[in-house]
Amino acid sequence: MIYKKNSLLMDGFRIDFLGHKFKTPMYCYSSKKIRNNILNFKNIFKKINPLICYAVKANSNLSILKEIKNHDLGADVVSIGELMKALKAGIKPQKIVFSGVGKTSEEIEYAINKNILLINAESKSEILQIEKIAKKRKKIVNIGIRLNPNTDAGTLSQISTGKKENKFGVNQKLFLELVNFSKRSKYLKLKCLSVHIGSQILNHMPYQRMLGVVNKTINLSRHQFEYIDLGGGMGIDYEHKNLSLNFKKYSQNISNFVKKNNCKIIFEPGRSIIGNTAVLITKVIYVKEGYKKDFIILDAAMNDLMRPALYGAKHKILPSRKNKRISKKVYEFVGPVCESTDKFATLLKFQKLKERDFLVICDVGAYGTSLASNYNLRPKPIEVLIKGKNIQIIKKRQKLSELI
Ligand code: LLP
C-alpha cells in the first residue's frame, strides 16, 4: 500500500477506483503479496526444507487456495469441508494434514479414503475411533499425536492453545501412553508428533521453550518420529511498527532440533502467509457527532471482519485520500450492526473525514472472510484479487435473495 499524489494505491490500483467499481464493503487481495510471503517463508526455513501445510482456516477462498497450491504448499485442515476444498483446489492428499479436537467418524472415514498424509489425533478416544475405522477398512492409517506442551505463547488469551488448561492436544504422560498404544496397533502407523501453541506469536522464546518440551518428550517416548509438526502461529505486524518474530532465531533453533532428532519438519502457517495480503475497503456512511467523540459509521461491520469485536484485535485504518486537516475530536470507527462491540478502532488525530470517503482496514487476509457471518442479515462482501494488471472477482457479493 502506498500513497501517490495523496491517493492510496494497492498494487497500482487506486483504492477510490476499486471502491467505486466494485462497491463496498469489499475485500481486496494481492497475488504479488501472497507470492512474496510464500517465497520469504520458504527462504527463511530453506535449510530445514519443511513441508509447509497452509492452515486453510485462515482463508478458504478457492481462488486463494489455488494460488497457494501453485506455490507447492500443502494444507492443514480442521474439518471435512476444509479437506474437500483443499482437494478441490488441487492440493495433493499426500500434502494434507488433518488437525482438530473433534473429528467425527464421517470426517475420519473421508480422510482415510482420501489417503491424506496424516490425521493428527488429539485424544485417546479419537485414536480408538481411528483404529476402529481403520480395522473395519483393513487399512493402515498414518497418524500423529498432538502434544500439549504446557507452554504459554504470550498471545491474546482467546487464541492461546498450548497451555494445560486449553482443550488442545494431550499432556506428556498421556502422550507417552498413546505412543505405546499406537505402536502396538496393527492398524495405526505413528509417524508424527504435532504441537501448536497459539497464534499471532511475535516472540521466539515460547517457540524455544516448546522445542525443549518436544525434545524431552521424544527422548522419553523412544520412538523415531518421521515428522514433527510444529504448527503455525507466526505473528504479523498489525500495528505497522516493524514488529516481527525473530525468524532467524526460530529457524536456527529448529535446525539444531532437526540435527538431534533426524526428522522432517511440518509447518502449518496461516496468518503469516495470508494475513497482510488483503485490505477491507469500506465507505463512511455517516459522521455522527457524539459526546466528546465523533462516530465514523462505516458500511463494513463486525460481520465482515470479526477480529476487533471478538478479540479486541487492532487493524490499521488508512484513508484512501490523504488531506492535511486533522480532526480535533476522537474518531470511533464503527459498523452499522446493533452491538456495542461492532467497533474497529478509536483513534486520536485522524485526518478529517466526511461522508462517502473511502477507507481501508489493513491486514485482513487471515481470519477476515473465514470468520465472516450474516449477522443482522447482512450479505457477505465481494472479494477481488489483483493479479498483475488484472482484477479477478474471486467471490461475488452475496445476494440478499440468498438470505431472504
Ligand atoms: N495449526 C493449528 C492446529 C491451528 O489451530 C492454527 C490456528 C494454525 C495452525 C494456524 O495458525 P496461524 O499461523 O494462522 O497463527 N481467529 C484467530 C486465530 C485463531 C487461530 C486458530 N488456530 C484470529 O483471528 O486471530
Residue 398 confidence class, pLDDT cut points 50, 70, 90: very high
Residue nearest (by alpha carbon) to ligand 1 atom 6: 232
pLDDT band for 159, please (50, 70, 90 cuts).
low
251 lies in the same domain as 184: yes
Nearest to 276 by CA among 392, 363, 343, 185: 363
- Ligand 1 atom index nearest CA of 306: 24
- Ligand 1 pocket mutation pick from 57, 163, 195, 314 by most atoms within 8 angstroms of CB: 57
Among the candidates 273, 291, 313, a domain finishes at: 273
Cα(353) to centroid(ligand 1), Å: 35
Three cell numbers, residue 240: 505497522
E-strand spans in 45-139?
51-55, 74-77, 96-98, 118-121
Ligand 1, atom 15: closest residue by C-alpha: 233
C-beta 199 within 6 A of ligand 1: yes
Q: How far is CA 4 from CA 18, 24, 241, in A?
A: 15, 22, 21
Is 14 in the same domain as 56? Answer: no
Rounded Cα distance, 3 and 162, in Å: 41
Q: What is the pTM of this model?
A: 0.97
Co-location of 297 and 391 in the same domain: yes
Dihedral over Cα of 197, 203, 207, 210: its sign? negative
Q: How many domains does the chain have?
A: 2
Contacts of residue 169, defined as CB under 8 A and 6 or more positions apart, other chains included, come to 122, 146, 147, 148, 149, 161, 162, 175, 194, 195
Query: Looking at residue 53, which CATH number applies to its domain?
Result: 3.20.20.10
Q: Same structural domain for residues 249 and 345?
A: no
Give residue for cell 484512501: 320
pLDDT of residue 218: 97
Statement to judge: residues 197 and 208 lie in one domain? yes
Residues 313 and 249 in one domain: no
Nearest to 144 by CA among 221, 238, 209, 87: 221
Domain boundary among 242, 273, 304: 273
Same domain, 230 and 293: no
Q: Note the pLDDT tens digit of each residue in 260-312.
A: 999 999 999 999 999 999 999 999 999 999 888 999 999 999 999 999 999 99
Q: Is the CB of 269 under 6 A from ligand 1?
A: yes
Residue type, 111: A
- Catalytic-residue membership of 338: yes
How far is the C-alpha of 369 from the C-alpha of 164, rounded, in Å? 30
pLDDT at position 201, please?
A: 96
Is any ligand 1 atom within 6 A of the Cβ of residue 58? yes
Residue 404's pLDDT is what?
95
Residue 272 Cα to ligand 1 midpoint, Å, equals 10
Its domain, for residue 346, covers: 2-29+275-403
Which residue's alpha carbon is at the smallest distance from atom 16 of ligand 1?
Answer: 367
Is the C-beta atom of 55 inside 6 A of ligand 1?
yes
In DSSP notation, 247-267 reads: HHHHHHHHHHHHHHH--EEEE
Tens digits of per-residue pLDDT, 333-348?
999 999 999 999 999 9
Give pLDDT tens digits for 69-106: 999 999 999 999 999 999 999 999 999 999 999 999 99
Domain identity same for 362 and 334: yes
Question: Is the link from the previous residue into 25 a cis peptide, with omega within 30 of 0?
Answer: yes
**Of 153, 77, 155, the residue nearest 117 (C-alpha):** 77
Residue among 59, 68, 146, 199 to mutate when testing ligand 1 (max atoms within 8 A of CB)? 199
User: In this structure, which amino acid lies at residue 63?
Assistant: S
> Is a pLDDT exceeding 80 seen at residue 161?
no
The active-site residue, picked from 28, 192, 338, 362, is: 338
Could you tell me if the CB of 200 is within 6 A of ligand 1?
A: yes
Q: State the closest ligand 1 atom to the C-alpha of 232, by its place in the atom list counted from 1.
A: 13
The last residue of one of the domains, among 227, 255, 273, is 273
Q: Are residues 6 and 94 in the same domain?
A: no
User: Are 261 and 287 contained in the same domain?
Assistant: no
CA-nearest of 199, 202, 257, 208 to 228 is 257
- The predicted pLDDT at position 395 comes to 98
Number of H helices, E strands in the chain: 12, 20
d(CA 64, ligand 1 centre) in Å: 17
Residues 110 and 57 in one domain: yes
Mark whether 123 and 231 lie in a shared domain. yes
Q: Is a pLDDT exceeding 80 seen at residue 163?
A: no
Cα 294 to chain center, whole Å?
33
